Amino acid sequence: MPDRSSELYYEACRLMPGGVNSPVRACQNVDSLPLFIDRASGSHLFDVDGCEYIDYVLSWGPMLLGHADPAVTQALLEAVPKGTSYGAPCPGEVELAAAVIAAVPGMEMARMVNSGTEATMSALRLARAVTGRDKLVKFIGCYHGHSDSFLAAAGSGVATLSIPGTPGVPDHVVKDTLLAPYNDIDAVEELFREHGKEIAAVIVEPVAANMGLVLPVPGFLDSLRKLCDTFGALLIFDEVITGFRLAYGGAQARFGIDPDLATFGKIIGGGLPVGCFGGKRKYMEQVAPSGDVYQAGTLSGNPLAMAAGIATLKRLRTENYESLQDRTAKFAANLAAVLAAKNLPVQVPTIASMFSVFFNENPVHNFSEASASDARLYTKFYKQMRERGIYLAPSPFETGMISFAHSEADFQKTLEAASAAKF
């Protein structure tokens, strides 16, 4: 363990819970200490001990262009001297909202917030207001941020830390959260049969990325759309990860399914704190101040965050998503082959610029199957890859991210590190 990182970590543990500002960064379930990062550029991280890593976390998704993209950096350098926050509308809010709405098929209005959690929390409140109903359907292992209603059988850090139930969240809140296994449309039909007229919304990650990477089976998303239409519930696509990563227009563009509301974050802020919820005008106009559904935020639409988001989306419009998907698919197939050659039970699902590694004999379709994967092997893999300069997600319940900055040399070095790993 490098020494400056460990010094900082022990000081951080004195000052902040677990020494981190977000639990999954603590690397607890991969038997490691977190690295403290000094700087990042392109596809690489540099820690405070001068060690260099090929980064497959990309700040959990935002850095699709790679770190410190020159155009994004320049946009921020131009924005900073103009002030950091006005608490009043600024042109950047109009420009970023217009860019998001133009990109996402079927989206008519948007509200900028400061995180994915704020986006999903607000979208749920709006759905409950619009329908006059309280219940929510979410999928086991999907993660929609840490607001109370979603902390039932959540993925990401909740699954990583095996946090039982929802400490601190009153039962009367989560009793309205109905759960179904991802990809199990029969279970969702059963919930609608039993609670149909009480269900305000179904929220889904159109591609699940918080239990490892789990793809929707053919017809799953379309069936959710049909069930919501039949019972008068709203369909919410949580595109905080998939938005602008699955395609420039997100899952809605890729799969051709039209949700009533959708949430975004990560990439649309270019690494600065931005979230967004939006969708059909008839719903969004009910958000204060044009309607009565209250939602607010001191730093929402912040000029720096808007500048980073605008520059990021502008750059992404010039990038070739097809080519990145092809390169990712080839890398994932090669990684699967290298690990399978060690007689390991391994699955490396991939879509667009995402992949994950399940040490499992069989393909993974839901959280229960993801949980049956061998976490001990994942820990061994994680630690050895990090020792060889490859920075993977510190949990099998996360997803590997690839950027437009990742090079063939990065992939080659990663495969060589995987080939050298001992299990």
Residue choice 29, 117, 183, 356 for contact with ligand KE4 (CB under 6 A)? 117
> Would you list the DSSP string of 170-185?
-HHHHTTEEEEETT-H
Integer Cα distance of 48 and 38 in angstroms: 5
Question: Taking CB under 6 A as the rule, does residue 353 contact ligand KE4?
Answer: no
Integer Cα distance of 285 and 55 in angstroms: 40
The CA-based diameter of the chain, rounded to the nearest angstrom, is 60
Known active-site residue 143: yes
Q: What counts of helices (H) and strands (E) characterise the chain? A: 15, 14
- Of the residues 9, 53, 56, 143, only one is catalytic, namely 143
Question: Taking CB under 6 A as the rule, does residue 250 contact ligand KE4?
Answer: no
- Tokens 């793809």: give the residue: 215
Q: At what angle do helices 220-231 and 185-195 cross, to 10 degrees?
A: 10
| Cis geometry, peptide bond prior to residue 170 (ω within 30 degrees of 0) | no
Q: Which is nearer to ligand KE4, 271 or 275 (CB)?
A: 275
Q: Which is nearer to ligand KE4, 43 or 399 (CB)?
A: 399
The pattern of x and - marking residues 372 through 401 that bind ligand KE4 according to CB under 6 A reads --------------------------x---
Choose the stretch contacting ligand KE4; rule: CB under 6 A; options: 33-41, 115-123, 128-136, 243-251.
Answer: 115-123
Are 265 and 240 in contact by the 8 Å Cβ rule? The answer is yes
CB of 375 to ligand KE4, least distance (A): 17
Question: Taking CB under 6 A as the rule, does residue 143 contact ligand KE4?
Answer: yes
Residue choice 44, 67, 125, 144 for contact with ligand KE4 (CB under 6 A)? 144
Are 146 and 105 in contact by the 8 Å Cβ rule? The answer is no
Question: Taking CB under 6 A as the rule, does residue 320 contact ligand KE4?
Answer: no
Residue choice 42, 62, 116, 250 for contact with ligand KE4 (CB under 6 A)? 116
CB of 243 to ligand KE4, least distance (A): 9
Q: Which is nearer to ligand KE4, 188 or 268 (CB)?
A: 268
CB of 209 to ligand KE4, least distance (A): 6
Q: Which is nearer to ligand KE4, 145 or 421 (CB)?
A: 145
Which of 386, 388, 311 minimizes the C-alpha distance to 68? 311
Integer Cα distance of 191 and 88 in angstroms: 44
Are 113 and 276 in contact by the 8 Å Cβ rule? The answer is yes
Residue choice 5, 9, 19, 24 for contact with ligand KE4 (CB under 6 A)? 24
Q: Which is nearer to ligand KE4, 274 or 287 (CB)?
A: 274
Q: Which is nearer to ligand KE4, 198 or 238 (CB)?
A: 238
Question: Taking CB under 6 A as the rule, does residue 252 contact ligand KE4?
Answer: no
Write the DSSP symbol of residue 10: H
The pattern of x and - marking residues 37 through 76 that bind ligand KE4 according to CB under 6 A reads -----------------------x----------------
User: What is the SS3 assignment for 208?
Assistant: strand
Are 119 and 113 in contact by the 8 Å Cβ rule? The answer is yes
Which of 278, 184, 298, 272 minimizes the C-alpha distance to 238? 278
Known active-site residue 382: no
Residue choice 11, 22, 91, 342 for contact with ligand KE4 (CB under 6 A)? 22
Question: Taking CB under 6 A as the rule, does residue 9 contact ligand KE4?
Answer: no
The pattern of x and - marking residues 147 through 166 that bind ligand KE4 according to CB under 6 A reads ---------xx---------
Integer Cα distance of 61 and 187 in angstroms: 30
In order of 33, 99, 145, 284, 339, the CA distances from 109 in angstroms are 43, 11, 22, 6, 46
Q: Which is nearer to ligand KE4, 231 or 358 (CB)?
A: 358
Instruction: Give the gyration radius of the chain's Cα atoms.
Output: 21
| DSSP H helical ranges for 267-403 | 281-284, 303-316, 321-340, 367-371, 375-387
Known active-site residue 238: yes
Residues near ligand KE4 (CB under 6 A) are: 22, 24-25, 60, 115-117, 120, 143-145, 156-157, 205, 210, 238, 240-241, 265, 275, 398
Q: Could you list the active site residues?
A: 143, 238, 266
